[in-house]
Amino acid sequence: MTDYKLEAAKAAFKLIKPSQTIGLGAGTTVFHLADMISRDQDLARSVVLVSSSFKTGAYLLQQGLNVKPAAVVRHLDIYFDGCDQFDQDLNALKSGGGIHTSEKVLASMAATFILMGDETKVATSLNTTYPLVVEILPQALQIVLSRLAAAHPDATVKLRMSSQKDGAVISENGNLLADIQFTTVPDWEQLNIQVKMIPGVVEHSLFWGLATKAVVAGENGIRVIVPIGK
């Protein structure tokens, strides 16, 4: 059985050039891409890598690659990442990992932000399959939850709880995470702004208008997708 995530990573790897500063997110496809970089010794020696993921960053260091923290890097040539779902304009939901704040920072630093994955990630338009995840300052938890519930009475808003310890999941920034599961499709463009305007919201997992290209693999081979109108 063909590993389409691996095939997407192979196609994305061809876009990397020597001496570039490359950002990597999280997930299986990103790890495939990291392996390819590490196996190309000439490329591995010349590129600088930055990651939004603690797990990915640790893996890159284990491979002996040149890794720098985001705080000392001003610009990325390319940022590669996966997602849960994206539409024809490459607006994406990245709900699973809960590291969307760090991911958005790197995506915004990059000249090119490339989504990678298999064809199951592609949707005509974003739907309610995946929640919107909101990162919240701990001291603002109750006001943010009440504002979200009031604005979206038909949605379910839940604080993300840990399965490995007693208590809530804490983000890498020391904040809390809440999942908003919609029952009807919201106006995503409006939502992108409204949620950010709530005091105490750090970021949310909707990547609106950030991606410049997507590389996806499926039964019909590799597709490179650019937003409609670009």
Those residues with Cβ within 8 angstroms of residue 92's Cβ, 6 or more apart along the chain or in another chain = 83, 84, 85, 86, 115, 206, 207, 210, 211
Asked if residue 52 lies in contact with residue 105, where contact means CB atoms within 8 angstroms, the answer is yes
Question: pLDDT tens, 36-55?
Answer: 999 999 999 999 999 999 99
**Size of the chain in residues:** 230
Mind listing the pLDDT tens digit for each residue in 183-223?
999 999 999 999 999 999 999 999 999 999 999 999 999 99
Q: Which two tokens stand for residue 117?
A: 């994955």
Query: What pLDDT score was predicted for residue 228?
Result: 76
Q: pLDDT (tens digit, 9 = 90+) per residue, 107-155?
A: 999 999 999 999 999 999 999 999 999 999 999 999 999 999 999 999 9
pTM, whole model, 2 decimals? 0.94
* Strand pairing category for 201-204 and 132-136: antiparallel
All structural domains of the chain, each given as residue ranges with its CATH number in brackets, are 4-123+208-225 (3.40.50.1360), 132-203 (3.30.70.260)
